Amino acid sequence: MCPVLLSNAKLLYDPYSLRTYADKSIYLEDGIIEAVSESSTGYKTDLVIDCKRKLVLPGLANTHTHLAMTLLRGAADDLSLRDWLSKTVWPSERRMGRDHVRAGTALGLVELIKSGVTAFADMYFFEDAVEEETVKAGLRAHLAPAVSDGGVPASDVTDVLAMVKSKRNSNLIRWALGPHSLYSCSKETLLTVAQAKHDLNLPVHMHLAETRWSEHRSMEIYGLREVDALERLGLLGEDFLGAHGVWLTKQEVNKLGNYRGAVSYCPVSNMKLAEGGHPPIPEMINSGVRVSFGTDGAASNNSLNIFETIKVGALLLRHMRWDPAVLSPAVALRMATETGYAVLGFPRHPLAPGGIGDLITISLDTPSLQGHPAMSVASSLVYSPPLNVEDMIVDGRPVMVERNILHLKEEKVIEDFRKASLSLEAAS
Amino acid sequence: MCPVLLSNAKLLYDPYSLRTYADKSIYLEDGIIEAVSESSTGYKTDLVIDCKRKLVLPGLANTHTHLAMTLLRGAADDLSLRDWLSKTVWPSERRMGRDHVRAGTALGLVELIKSGVTAFADMYFFEDAVEEETVKAGLRAHLAPAVSDGGVPASDVTDVLAMVKSKRNSNLIRWALGPHSLYSCSKETLLTVAQAKHDLNLPVHMHLAETRWSEHRSMEIYGLREVDALERLGLLGEDFLGAHGVWLTKQEVNKLGNYRGAVSYCPVSNMKLAEGGHPPIPEMINSGVRVSFGTDGAASNNSLNIFETIKVGALLLRHMRWDPAVLSPAVALRMATETGYAVLGFPRHPLAPGGIGDLITISLDTPSLQGHPAMSVASSLVYSPPLNVEDMIVDGRPVMVERNILHLKEEKVIEDFRKASLSLEAAS
C-alpha cells in the first residue's frame, strides 16, 4: 500500500482530545498514521496532498443508513412512517434486484464521500452488492443484511444467515445482522437471529422505538416495551446498534445503558417522518448508551449529508429542551467521530501516530469557517458546516483528492443510477 | 448593460407557476428576461452561459439577516437570546465601526451568493456601508438601518432618519426603517419611527415576538401583546416585515393578516437560541400574512445558507405538528421566491419574458438531485438541497459564473474579514 503525505496542514482538529494543532505534516503508511511532525521532508511517498490552507480532522461516522434507498428518494415525501413503508417503500423494494441495490448504493457512497463520511452502518438487502461497491470506493462499513418477514427479496432469515456465514470481516468491512424491527419480523425469526448472533458473535443493527406505534406493537405482540422485548429475545448486548430510539422510556434507556448498547440519532429522518418526538439524548449519554449520528436512508431525509444531520441534531435538542447548552459542539463532534467509530467496531482513530488513517480535509478559506476570533473549530463544523470536503483518506489510502473521487467515477455512477431508477419504475 | 444568454438550459423550474420546462434558452437584456425560446441562436451577447447540464430557477430571497454579524459568528454559541444579546452581541456591537460592518457584510454576501440568494433584507447599523458592498456584489437588498436606544453606534433615531432621507431607492436597493424591537427602543423612539414611516412612505423591518420574554416585555411596557402594541404605535401596514413571530397568538396572527403584514420565518435561529416555540406558519398563511424565509445573522445560525433554512423550516413544522404534509415543498419554494420578493418590494420574477432577470443555476449532475422518477424538482431542492450553486444573474447581470464570484474577490474578502475580526477583538 502506497504511503501518503498530508503536507504542512495549516490546522489539525482532533475531536478525540478536543485539541487543535497548527502546521503539521501527517505521514500515513500501512493504513495508519505513522508520523505527525513539524517537517514534511524525509518521507518517501508517491502522493503528497498539499494542506497549507486546509483543516485536517478524523473522518466522520454515519451509523444508520440504507444507501440504496437513494432509489426511493422523493418517491413520497409527505407520508408518515407507516404509510410510507406500506404504500411506497415496501412495494418498490419487492421489485428491487441486486443491480438496483448496487447502483443506488454507489450513488449513496458518492454523497457520503462528499460530506466527509469515512465509515458507515448500512442495513439493506443484497448487502453483498453493498460490500463490493464499498470496497471499490474505499470506505469502511458495518454491513447488516436486512432480515424481515415482509416479502422483500433476499431478506429471509435462512438466506441472510447463509450469506453472512460465507463472509469474513476485513480492514474495511464488518458484518452484522439486520433484523429490520420488532414489528416486521416474527418472534421465530428474531429468535433465530438471536441464536446466530450468539453462535457467530455478530453485531446486531435494527430499528428501535422509532414511532409511538412501534412501541405500541411491541406491547401488543410481546406485552413488553421494545428494549424489554429485545432483552427477552436475547438481542441486546454491547454490539447492539438501535436506530432512532425516539420513544424510549427512562427505564428502557437505563437498561440499554447497562448493556452498553448503542443508539444512532437520526434527527432529520425523525423530523421528516413527523414522528413527533425526539430521542432522550442527554439521558442516554448519562446512562452509558453510546450515541452517534445517522442520516438514515435518502428516502426519509433526503440527503446523506452528515454535517447537516449533526447541525439539525444539535438544533433539535436545543429547541425541544429550551436549553442552548444541552449539547456542546465538541460533544457532538465526538459522537460523530470517536463514538461512531467505536460503535461500528473500527479501531480508534485519533490524530496521532498509531491512529488509523481515516482523515478528511476542509479548506480553511471556506467563507462560513470565518468568524469571531473566539469561534472554536468544533462550533464552526457543527453550526456553520462546510459546503465541500476537499480530501479523504481511509485506511491510509486516498479516496478523494481535491474533490475528485478516485475509485468511483462520479459521472458513470450517476448514469448507472438513472438507468436503475427507470428500470425499477418500469417493473411496477 | 450587456445582454446575457443562458443557452440550452436542460431544465427550468418556476416556483411561481409550479411548472418545469425542458431545453430552453433564456435571453436577458436591460435587467429583464427578454425571451425564453427553444433556440439559442440569433441573440447578440457577450456572455453565454452553457446550461446543457443545468437546472435554472429564480433566485431566492433571504428576508431577515444581519450580514455583518459574521463578525460575531461563534462568539457565544450556548446562550439564550437575552444573555446572548446582553453579554456578547451588544458589547461587541458598541465597538464596531463602519469598516467592521463593511468587512463583515462582504463575507456575508459571498455566503449568500454561494447559496443562491439574489435578494435579501438586512437590518444593521452603518447600513450605508452595506449598501455599497451590496451594489458592488450586484445583489438586491431591502436595507433597514437599525434604530435602538441601546448605545450601539449609528443607531440613534435622528441619525438614522437623516441617513435614510439622504438615500434614494434603485433597481437593487430599497430603503426601510429598522426599529430593532419593542424592548430595545423607547416608546418615543418608536413613535418617531412611525411618523417617519408615514411621512416618507417607508417599509419597516423589525424583530417580532421572537421570545416569550419579548411578548412579556410588551405587556409590561404597553399593557398589550406585540402586534397590538405595534398597531397602537402606528407601525403596522402592508410594508411591515416582522422577523420570527414565534410567540404570536391567534388573535395577533389574524390582525397581522388583516394588515397584509409579513413575517420572516427563521427556524434555524429560533432553534439555535432555544426559544422553545415555532411560529404558527400554517395559521399565518391562512390569515393572509405573507410568510417567507430568513437565515437571521451568522451569530445565531451560524450559516447563511438559505437552502438549509428552507429544509429545517419544513422539518420543524412536520416535527411540531406531527404532520408530514403540513408544508409542501412547492409551497416552501414559493415562499422563498415569489413571496420573499414581494415582501422585499421587488418586482415579480417568473421565468418568462418580462420577468426580472434574477436567476440561479444548479448542476443536474449533483448526486443528491438524483432519485426516484417521481421526485419533483421542488422536493429535491427542499429536502436534498444542492451543495453548490453554479451561476447567478441579478438584474440581468452576471454575479457568479461557474462558481466564480465576479464582483467581489473572495480571497480579498476573507483577508479583509480576518483583519476586521481581529481589530474588533483588539478594541475590547
Q: Residue A401: which CATH number?
A: 2.30.40.10
DSSP annotation of A86: I
- Structure confidence at residue A46 as a pLDDT band (50, 70, 90): confident
| Cα(B312)–Cα(A67) distance, integer angstroms | 22
Residue B427 has pLDDT above 80, yes or no: no
Spatial CA neighbour of A248 closest among A275, A271, A225: A225
Residue B5's pLDDT band (cuts 50, 70, 90): very high
User: ipTM value of the model?
Assistant: 0.97
Residue in B79, B92, B376 nearest the CB of A324: B79
Domain boundary among A294, A315, A344: A344
pLDDT score at A154: 84
What is the model's pTM? 0.97
Q: In a 3-state reduction of DSSP, which class is residue A253? A: helix
- Indicate the number of domains in chain A: 2
What is the 8-class DSSP label of residue B275?
Answer: -
Residues 6+ apart with CB under 8 A from B352: B14, B33, B36
Percent of chain A with pLDDT over 90: 89
Question: What pLDDT, in 10s, does the model give residues B291-350?
Answer: 999 999 999 999 999 999 999 999 999 999 999 999 999 999 999 999 999 999 998 778
Using the structure block, give the residue that is written with the C-alpha cell 454576501.
B109
Write the CB contacts of B166 (distance below 8 Å, at least 6 apart in sequence). none
Query: Of the candidates A302, A367, A388, which has its C-beta nearest B110's C-beta?
Result: A367
How many of the other CB atoms lie within 10 Å of CB of A254?
17
C-alpha cell at B387: 451543495
Residues B232 and B133 occupy one common structural domain: yes
pLDDT of A2 reads 86
How far, in Å, CA of B351 to CA of B335, rounded? 16
Chain A residues within an 8 Å CB radius of B114: 367, 387
Q: How open is the CA angle A387-A388-A390, to the nearest 5 degrees?
A: 160
Residue A415 counted as domain residue: no
| A25 three-state secondary structure | strand
pLDDT of residue A317: 98
* Residue A51 sits in the same domain as residue A157: no
User: Using 50, 70 and 90 to split pLDDT, how confident is the model at B209?
Assistant: very high
Residue A385 one-letter amino acid: P
Say how far apart CA A153 and CA A159 lie, in whole Å. Answer: 10
ω into B302 cis (within 30 of 0): yes
pLDDT value for B426: 83
C-alpha B24/C-alpha B22 separation (Å) is 6
- List CB contacts of A376: < 8 A, sequence separation 6 or more: A329, A330, B74
CB-CB under 8 Å, A272 with B383: yes
Substitution target from B11, B246, B271, B301 for chain A, most A beta carbons within 10 A: B271
B294 found inside a domain: yes
What count of other Cβ atoms lies within 10 Å of the Cβ of residue B62? Answer: 33
Residue A348 has pLDDT above 80, yes or no: no
Q: Is residue A418 part of a domain?
A: no
Residue B423 burial (CB count, 10 A): 14
Residue A307 makes CB contacts below 8 A (sequence gap 6+) with: A60, A115, A116, A381, A385, A386
Looking at the fold, whether B108 and B251 belong to one and the same domain comes out as yes
Residues of chain A contacting residue B400, judged by C-beta atoms under 8 Å apart: none
By C-alpha distance, the chain B residue nearest A376 is: B74
Instruction: Give dist(CA B82, CA B347) in Å, integer.
Output: 37
Where residue A85 falls among pLDDT bands split at 50, 70, 90?
Answer: confident
Residue A234 in contact with residue A259, Cβ under 8 Å?
no
Residue A129's domain spans which residues? 60-344
- Please give the single-letter amino acid code of residue B61: A
Lowest pLDDT segment from A67-81, B76-90, B363-377: B76-90
From A379, A377, A387, select the one nearest A351 (Cα to Cα).
Answer: A377
A and B: number of Cβ contacts within 8 A: 220
- Full DSSP string of B219-247: HHHHSS-HHHHHHHHT--STTEEEEE-TT
- Helix, strand, or coil here: B80? coil
- Find the mean pLDDT for residues A132-143: 98
Q: What is the CA radius of gyration of chain B?
A: 21
The CATH number given to whatever domain includes residue B190 is: 3.20.20.140
Give yes or no: residues B389 and B338 share one domain. Answer: no
Mean pLDDT of chain B: 95
B411 belongs to a structural domain:
no
Question: What does residue A44 show for φ and ψ, rounded to 5 degrees?
Answer: -90, 125
Q: Are A193 and A177 in contact (CB under 8 A)?
A: yes
Residue A85 CB-density burial (10 A; 0-12 exposed, 13-18 middle, 19+ buried)? buried
Q: Is B421 part of any domain?
A: no
- Give the nearest partner residue to B387 out of A268, A271, A387, using CB atoms: A387
Task: Give tens-digit pLDDT for B122-158.
Answer: 999 999 999 999 999 999 999 999 999 988 888 999 9
Instruction: Determine the Cα–Cα distance for residues B100 and B107; give it in Å rounded to an integer.
Output: 11
pLDDT attached to residue A294: 98
**Which of A273, A312, A387 has its CB closest to that of B114?**
A387
Element (H, E) at A28: strand A19-29
- Look at A377-381, B3-7, B73-77, B260-264 and tell me which has the smallest mean pLDDT: B73-77
Instruction: Give me the amino acid identity at A191.
Output: L
* Whole-number percent of chain A with pLDDT over 70: 100
Indicate whether A181 and A226 sit together in one domain: yes
Beta bridge partners of B174: B142
**What was the pLDDT predicted at B282?**
98
Of A186-200, B70-84, B289-303, where does mean pLDDT reach its minimum? B70-84
User: Is the pLDDT score of B1 beyond 90?
Assistant: no
String of DSSP letters for B174-219 = EE-BEE--TTTS-HHHHHHHHHHHHHHT--EEEEES-SHHHHHHHH
Alpha-carbon distance values, A260 to A342, A350, A402 (Å)? 12, 22, 39
Residues B23, B65 within the same domain: no
Residues 6+ apart with CB under 8 A from B161: B192, B196
> Which site among A368, A400, A422 would you substitute to test the B interface, given the most B Cβ atoms closer than 10 Å to its Cβ?
A368
> Which of B302, B307, B322 would best serve as a mutation to test chain A binding (most A beta carbons within 10 A)?
B302
Distance of CA A35 to the CA centre of its chain: 28
Q: How far away is chain A from the Cα of B260, in angstroms, using its nearest Cα? A: 29
The shortest CB-CB distance from B319 to any of A274, A375, A410 is to A274
Counted residue by residue, chain B has a size of 428
Rounded to 5 degrees, φ, ψ at B421 are -60, -45
**What is the C-alpha to C-alpha distance for residues A381 and A115, in angstroms, rounded to an integer?**
12
- Dihedrals phi, psi of A18, to nearest 5 degrees: 60, 30
Peptide bond into A169 cis (omega under 30): no
pLDDT confidence band for A82 (50 / 70 / 90): confident
| Shared-domain flag, residues A298 and A361 | no
Are A339 and A353 found together in one domain? no
The one-character DSSP state at B401 is E
Per the domain annotation, does B426 fall within a domain?
Answer: no
Say how far apart CA B242 and CA B292 lie, in whole Å: 11
B20-38 confidence digits (pLDDT tens) = 999 999 999 999 999 999 9
Q: Using CB atoms within 10 A of its CB, is residue A410 exposed (0-12), middle (13-18) or buried (19+)?
A: middle
Determine the residue among A305, A384, A405 to mutate to test chain B binding: the one whose Cβ has the most chain B Cβ atoms within 10 Å. A384
Contact A74 B418 (CB under 8 A): no
10 Å CB burial of residue B426 (0-12, 13-18, 19+) is exposed
Q: Mind listing the pLDDT tens digit for each residue in A212-236?
A: 999 999 999 999 999 999 999 999 9
Distance, in Å, from the CA atom of A5 to the CA atom of A43, rounded to the nearest integer, reads 8
Q: Which of B392, B395, B333 is nearest to B117 (CA)?
A: B392
* Residues B109, B154 within the same domain: yes
Task: Give the nearest chain A residue to B364 (CA atoms).
Answer: A414
Q: Which of A71, A74, A268 sits opposite B376 (nearest CB)?
A: A74
Q: What is the pLDDT of residue A119?
A: 98
Q: How many CA atoms lie within 13 A of B58 on its CB side?
A: 31
Q: Report whether pLDDT(B49) > 90.
A: yes
Q: Are residues B181 and B311 in the same domain?
A: yes
Indicate whether B219 and B267 sit together in one domain.
yes
A426 occurs within a structural domain: no
The answer to whether the CB of A400 falls within 8 A of the CB of A389 is: yes
Structure confidence by residue, pLDDT tens digits, B221-237: 999 999 999 999 999 99
Q: Percentage of chain B with pLDDT > 70?
A: 100
Average pLDDT over all residues of chain A:
95
Residues of chain A positioned with their CB less than 8 A from the CB of B52:
none
On the question of pLDDT at A15 being above 90, the answer is yes
Nearest to A105 by CA among A337, A416, A406, A422: A416
> Which residue among A111, A328, A367 sits closest to B368, beta carbon to beta carbon?
A111
Residue B117 pairs in a beta bridge with B60
With bands split at pLDDT 50, 70 and 90, how would you rate the model's confidence at A424? very high
- How many angstroms away from the CA of A74 is the closest CA of chain B? 4
- Is the same domain home to A117 and A262? yes
Nearest CA in chain A to B416: A370
CA distance B311 to A311: 12
Domain assignment of residue B310, yes or no: yes
Distance from CA of A36 to the nearest CA of B (A): 28
Looking at the complex, report in whole angstroms how far the Cα of residue A197 sits from the nearest Cα belonging to chain B.
35
Segment A163-179 shows an average pLDDT of 97
Q: Name residues whose C-beta falls within 8 Å of residue A420's C-beta, 6 or more positions apart in sequence.
A: A71, A99, A100, A102, A103, A104
